[in-house]
Amino acid sequence: MKFKESDSCLLVIDVQLDFCPGGALSVDQGDHVVEPINKLMKCFSNVVLTQDWHPESHSSFASSHQGSKPFSEIQLPYGSQTLWPDHCIQNSRGAEFHPELNTAYAQSIIRKGFRHEVDSYSAFFENDGQTVTGLQGWLSSKQIKNVYLAGLATDFCVAYSALDAVRLGFDATVILSACRAIDLEGSLDRQLTNMQHAGVTLLEKIL
């Protein structure tokens, strides 16, 4: 595999403090993705980071809906939405990238979830499935065909990004050893199955 070819890109998903141990929405061993991702970034000519970037009182926060608890489900105008603890609030410490993540390799940073009324799991679209983040245009402008994904969390933002990548015509590969999952009521197994069925390549590691 020749990752440094101009038609390949490493997409690093949401390696932020709130998703790491001690954070507001901690993913088990979330900080363990940093070392393998740093190694991966050295192998790619194209690297993009995504960053959850919520305003206060975001519609996906349980605290924004009286009587609702984190991890419950509600219906919003665009469909079903999991409610989360307040996390990755703009300009907060929790929204920062993990301090050991080597962000110097990034050519672009895609911020998502900054519109109050709609959440955004995918790096390509917000959860309404229509509002774009700009990532597709950036990749297309550089004639990138192959997208490799790593980061947090496997069963939410990584999976949604990979599924959208395939739907948009990119070849997508998820590097599982450089991801960690929330696994909310079996969500990891469901999303691994969904990705396989959609044509996403799942690799334990590539280095």
Q: Which residues are catalytic?
A: 14, 112, 157
Q: How far apart are CA 24 and CA 205, in angstroms?
A: 28
Cβ atoms of 147 and 155 closer than 8 Å? no
Other beta carbons within 10 angstroms of residue 149's beta carbon come to 27
Q: Cα angle vertex 46, ends 43, 51, to 5°?
A: 105
With a CB cutoff of 8 Å and minimum separation 6, the contacts of 109 are: 48, 49, 50, 51, 103
In angstroms, the CA 40 to CA 128 distance is: 31
Nearest to 203 by CA among 35, 13, 1, 49: 1
- Report the SS3 class of residue 36: helix
Asked whether 135 and 48 are in contact (CB, 8 A), the reply is: yes
